Homo-oligomer: A and B are copies of this chain.
Amino acid sequence: MIIVRTIAELQKKVAETKQQGKTVGFVPTMGYLHEGHLSLVNEAKNHDDFIVMSIFVNPLQFGPNEDFDRYPRDFERDERLAKSAKVDAIFYPDVKEMYPRELSSTITVHKGVNALCGKSRPGHFDGVATVVLKLFNIVQPTRAYFGMKDAQQVAVIENMVADFNLSVQVMKCATLREEDGLAKSSRNVYLSDEERSEAVQIYASLRQAISQIEAGERNPVMIKDQINDLLHSKTTGIVDYVEVLAYPSLNVIELIQGEIIIAIALKFSKARLIDNITVTV
């Protein structure tokens, strides 16, 4: 595994790799790797010959009152984990390499940002889209791998790829789950024992919603109401949102048809958990 700090060096390496007829799989991250990232690498290795992982905490996607400086970083640990997962190249630029000057132009995301987690983070997805477009242009990947845990991010990127006729293939990877169905998250450790046992209801309520849709339910309000009822009655968490939206547009729908997403954010005392499920009707 090589560690590359500059754009020019990475571009050279990728060009050489492609000249050998190899495909390039790309796993963009902000580092502080966990099982979810490594599962993306595993998926990438199923499809691509040469795996590039970027580790870059992108200041552009943090709001002025958010935690860019405090965002956890541990490059040595990341390096060890990436190596064990058989990443071929870590792209680890510093901020000056990615943003040598203030940008003259950026991506503005108009759709799918006033729903779910985007509501409370104005400009966040503009920063995500801008850095992902830069990274796509630098890495020139055949395929890029994103976890569906952050379905809104995946939607924004899928839309951008279509909008700008990018040639990269966006690979949506299933959320990793504990044996009882709870989505894996570094935040799960903040749950009390009682909350941990309640938290299974998040995925259980999503599964129940899918069953109802499979049985013919087409009213998103009915689905949301039933999820809300279940979470209220069976957990001590506070519902932040329950949404049933078109995917990947994240438009509000009046009838369940085509590809949709059901998404939940539930606040426990010390952790806000998110989960979602997509289904095509």
Interface residues of chain A, those whose CB is within 8 Å of chain B, are: 7, 11, 102-112, 129, 133-134, 137-138, 140, 156, 159-160, 162-167, 249
Query: Which of A104, A111, A112, A129 neighbours the largest number of chain B CB atoms within 10 Å of its CB?
Result: A104
4 pairs of A and B residues whose beta carbons are closest in the complex: A104-B159, A104-B111, A108-B108, A137-B165
Contact residues in B for A104 (Cβ distance below 8 Å): 109-112, 156, 159-160, 162-163, 249
Contact residues in B for A167 (Cβ distance below 8 Å): 11, 137, 140
Contact residues in B for A111 (Cβ distance below 8 Å): 102, 104-105
Q: What is the minimal beta-carbon distance from A93 to any residue of chain B, in angstroms?
A: 11
Contact residues in B for A160 (Cβ distance below 8 Å): 104-105
CA A8 – CA B112 in complex, angstroms? 27
Given A156-B104, A249-B104: A164 touches B109 (CB 8 Å cut-off): no
Nearest B residue to A111 via CB reads B104
Nearest B residue to A101 via CB reads B162
Q: Is the CB of B108 within 8 A of A137?
A: no
Q: Is the CB of A107 within 8 A of B109?
A: no
Other A-B contacts than A104-B249, A106-B108, A108-B108, 4 sampled, CB-CB below 8 A, are: A104-B163, A105-B107, A105-B111, A137-B165
Contact residues in B for A102 (Cβ distance below 8 Å): 111
CA A23 – CA B105 in complex, angstroms? 28
Which of B103, B133, B165 has a CB less than 8 Å from the CB of A138? B165
Sample (26) of A-B pairs whose CB atoms are under 8 Å apart: A7-B165, A11-B167, A103-B110, A103-B163, A104-B110, A104-B111, A104-B112, A104-B160, A104-B163, A104-B249, A105-B107, A105-B108, A105-B109, A105-B129, A105-B160, A105-B163, A105-B164, A106-B107, A106-B110, A107-B107, A107-B108, A133-B164, A134-B164, A134-B165, A138-B165, A140-B167
Q: What is the minimal beta-carbon distance from A12 to any residue of chain B, in angstroms?
A: 12
Contact residues in B for A163 (Cβ distance below 8 Å): 103-106, 134
Contact residues in B for A165 (Cβ distance below 8 Å): 7, 134, 137-138
Given A133-B164, A137-B164, A164-B137: A105 touches B159 (CB 8 Å cut-off): yes
Q: What is the minimal beta-carbon distance from A129 to any residue of chain B, in angstroms?
A: 6
CA A19 – CA B111 in complex, angstroms? 37
CA A159 – CA B100 in complex, angstroms? 12
Nearest B residue to A159 via CB reads B104
Contact residues in B for A107 (Cβ distance below 8 Å): 105-108
Query: Which of A105, A164, A165 neighbours the largest number of chain B CB atoms within 10 Å of its CB?
Result: A105
Q: What is the minimal beta-carbon distance from A82 to any residue of chain B, in angstroms?
A: 23
Q: What is the minimal beta-carbon distance from A248 to any residue of chain B, in angstroms?
A: 8
Contact residues in B for A129 (Cβ distance below 8 Å): 105
